[in-house]
Amino acid sequence: ATALARRAAAAKAAAAATAARVALPQPTAAAAARAATGCAGAASLALLAACGVSGRPTVAVQAEGSWTPELHDGMRIFVWGQRSAFPASDASGDPAPEADLRSPTEVLWFRQHAEQHQCRWRQLAFGPSFGAARNDSGKLFAWGSCKGGREGKSRIFLEPQPLYFDDLGPDAQFRDVQCSESAVWALTTSGEVVVWER
């Protein structure tokens, strides 16, 4: 049990460096700029997510070279950074990027899923070539990419898919999700820690 606790603490510290979870409590340009600065140093893909603060969630979007807040309802997700962790989905109009993203780009899959299932996004986390998201229903989704093709010179992207734990089934609810260098860590609403390793 002690080894598991140490491993969980180490993964939590690593996840803090790669996960980007930002809720802006006040829709001010200064708050958006501080949040953007905090995310820009993440080892993998950085993001700003609408996370429902006091009924007025905020997403910072880039407009004409400066950060400005734009109010949304927890359905829209903007990402930028390393292309290997991008949640690509041709079906939703989010093709795999050819290069790293240098400016915030909306991932349409998140908005389409939220509209179809009447949910809001509460948390996202990223590893070096994968990511995970949690919605307000406690459901998890994961995506990623790996080297593929001839001589491993191209990347194969897996679009966001529900992430299940067999012992708990599809009805399991989660209240936290983090990514480390090689794993997705999640905490169920009943306090169980679940780890998916690659």
Distance between CA atoms of 177 and 49, rounded to whole angstroms?
Answer: 14
Q: Are 125 and 169 in contact (CB under 8 A)?
A: no
Residue 5: other Cβ atoms inside 10 A: 10
What confidence tens digit (pLDDT) does each residue in 5-27 have? Answer: 565 555 554 444 333 333 323 22
The pLDDT value given to residue 9 = 57
What confidence tens digit (pLDDT) does each residue in 107-127 have? Answer: 999 999 999 999 999 999 999
Q: Which of 107, 106, 140, 108 is nearest to 123 (CA)?
A: 140
Is the pLDDT at 102 greater than 70? The verdict is yes
Q: Which of 142, 156, 157 is nearest to 195 (CA)?
A: 142
Mean pLDDT of 173-197: 95
Residue 171: other Cβ atoms inside 10 A: 8
The pLDDT value given to residue 95 = 95
The pLDDT value given to residue 194 = 94
What confidence tens digit (pLDDT) does each residue in 59-88 have? Answer: 333 333 333 334 456 889 999 999 999 999
